[in-house]
């Protein structure tokens, strides 16, 4: 998760803690009391929320202080890996949800399995939970997540007589109508390598990028489910003039494409919607976007979506492990997750549905929350990070199919790479 995602939702005052230059310290404050050091990513913790949370924790723990140290996403994996191997790591660390398993397998994270009751485990969002576990043990607590929705230009939809769809069939019919109504309008901007979007279609079909095969993993794109998912993606992409060999960041769709006009809809995150609005208004225009969940096969539930987000974990070598665990329990409790959702104006999904605040009607957050029950993450295994390394075989698979290669053949080629990478230690 990037800082821009949080900024987009309107959390005006973000944490301004001092960036850490090392890892942790000796676990003591300047006056000799105990100190809990928490690493959070740039923009993840609204200042008001963090200040109030720490005040309550410190009041309940005489002589204990909490120090928040803000980190940058760039280079964070290497920094955390180094910190967890040292004798004085930070006590609590924010981890990307797809990265957590990789840190857990090294032994760097404390086993929280015995704390499930204290952590309100049974109430957590079922789509976020898998990222916090590995081999039946709990190594983190879900903190927040967000997902993509369809962002559309209200005026262009209205001109074509199209309303937000409830099913894939209605979605395609609407795009066809827009295409026929104005040849200068792109019904949807969809780059060929938006693999997080493909992920949702794949999960809708009952498939996945990789599946367990005994004590190993194997790629699973050369399957009927993979073919169905990429075929639907190809149908959607046929309504777009976006490049077949780039993702949504190259060029950046929200600031380099949409503000130029002529785009009836696109799929993006909250920070992208905000970025497009800002760019349009800066150029003297007016943005009037509407939002709807990515449609599913039937109207009873939206399409599945990738949950991008973060977990909070305790370092195994923490000098103040018990205090760190108690801070984690408080920070991820229903009370403080509700306050977190309020601080981010409903624009991030808290770890429990009970803490979700009611988003503003017609907002991006409202559309995002509608898909909160169908969120998924990529395969939970330490080797998944190797799969995402460029050149990403999933992206290459998508481009090959869009350019005419049979899905089965392209899938076999991608599966070979996925299988080799995902089983690397």
The CATH superfamily of 3-147+307-366 is Periplasmic binding protein-like II (3.40.190.10)
Count the Cβ atoms, other than its own, within 10 Å of residue 250.
Answer: 12
Alpha-carbon span 14 to 217, nearest angstrom:
40
Q: Where are the beta strands (DSSP E) in 272-351?
A: 289-292, 305-306, 308-314, 349-350
What's the pLDDT tens digit per position in 49-97?
999 999 999 999 999 999 999 999 888 989 999 999 999 999 999 999 9
Same fold? 3-147+307-366, 149-305+378-422: yes
Structure confidence at residue 4 (pLDDT)? 38
Tell me the percentage of the chain whose pLDDT exceeds 70: 92
165, 150, 157, 154: which is closest to 181 by C-alpha? 157
Structure confidence at residue 23 (pLDDT)? 52
**CATH fold of 149-305+378-422:** D-Maltodextrin-Binding Protein; domain 2 (3.40.190)
Residue scoring higher pLDDT (7 or 374): 374
Q: With 60 as the cut, is the pLDDT of residue 14 above it?
A: no
Q: With 90 as the cut, is the pLDDT of residue 16 above it?
A: no
Structure confidence at residue 73 (pLDDT)? 86
198, 186, 394, 182: which is closest to 294 by C-alpha? 198
Rounded (5°) CA angle 289-44-149: 30
What's the pLDDT tens digit per position in 351-384?
999 999 989 999 999 999 999 999 999 999 999 9
What's the pLDDT tens digit per position in 296-354?
999 999 999 999 999 999 999 999 999 999 999 999 999 999 999 999 887 899 999 99
Structure confidence at residue 15 (pLDDT)? 30
Q: With 80 as the cut, is the pLDDT of residue 31 above it?
A: no
- Per DSSP, the residues of 330-346 read HHTSHHHHHHHHHHTTT
Q: With 70 as the cut, is the pLDDT of residue 24 above it?
A: no
Burial class (CB in 10 A: 0-12, 13-18, 19+), 90: buried
Structure confidence at residue 28 (pLDDT)? 62
Segment 124-141 mean pLDDT: 95
Structure confidence at residue 17 (pLDDT)? 32
Residue-range domain boundaries for the chain: 3-147+307-366, 149-305+378-422
- Bridge pairing between strands 375-376 and 305-306: parallel
């Amino acid at each position: 998760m990037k800082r821009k995602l949080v900024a987009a939702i309107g959390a005006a005052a973000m944490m301004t803690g001092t960036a850490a230059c090392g890892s942790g310290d000796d676990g003591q404050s300047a006056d000799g009391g105990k100190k809990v050091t928490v690493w959070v990513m740039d923009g993840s913790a609204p200042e008001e929320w963090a200040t109030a949370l720490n005040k309550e924790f410190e009041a309940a723990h005489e002589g204990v202080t909490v120090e928040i140290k803000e980190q940058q996403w760039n280079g964070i994996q290497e920094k955390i890996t180094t910190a967890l191997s040292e004798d004085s790591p930070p006590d609590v660390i924010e981890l990307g949800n797809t990265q957590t398993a990789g840190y857990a397998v090294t032994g760097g994270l404390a086993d929280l399995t015995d704390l499930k009751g204290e952590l309100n485990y049974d109430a957590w969002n079922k789509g976020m939970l898998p990222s916090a576990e590995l081999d039946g043990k709990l190594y983190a607590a879900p903190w927040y997540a967000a997902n993509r929705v369809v962002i559309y230009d209200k005026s262009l939809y209205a001109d074509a007589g199209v309303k937000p769809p409830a099913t894939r069939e209605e979605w395609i019919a609407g795009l066809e109508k827009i295409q026929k109504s104005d040849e200068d309008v792109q019904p949807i901007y969809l780059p060929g390598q938006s693999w997080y979007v493909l992920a949702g279609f794949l999960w809708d079909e009952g498939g996945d990028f990789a599946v367990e095969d005994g004590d190993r993993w194997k790629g699973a794109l050369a399957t009927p489910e993979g073919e169905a998912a990429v075929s639907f993606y190809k149908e959607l992409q046929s309504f777009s003039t976006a490049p077949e060999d780039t993702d949504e960041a190259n060029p950046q769709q929200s600031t380099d494409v949409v503000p130029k006009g002529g785009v009836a809809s696109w799929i993006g995150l909250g920070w992208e919607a905000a970025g497009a609005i800002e760019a349009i208004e800066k150029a003297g225009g007016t943005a009037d976007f509407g939002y709807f969940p990515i449609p599913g096969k039937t109207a009873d539930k939206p399409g599945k979506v990738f949950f991008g987000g973060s977990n909070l974990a305790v370092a195994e070598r923490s000098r103040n492990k018990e205090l760190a665990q108690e801070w984690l329990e408080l920070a991820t409790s229903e009370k403080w997750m509700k306050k977190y959702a309020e601080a981010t104006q409903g624009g991030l999904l808290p770890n429990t549905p009970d803490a979700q605040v009611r988003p503003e009607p017609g907002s991006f957050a409202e559309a995002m929350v509608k898909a909160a029950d169908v969120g998924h993450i990529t395969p939970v295994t330490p080797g998944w990070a190797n799969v995402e390394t460029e050149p990403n075989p999933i992206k290459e698979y998508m481009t090959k199919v869009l350019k005419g290669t049979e899905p089965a053949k392209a899938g076999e080629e991608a599966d070979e790479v996925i299988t080799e990478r995902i089983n690397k230690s």
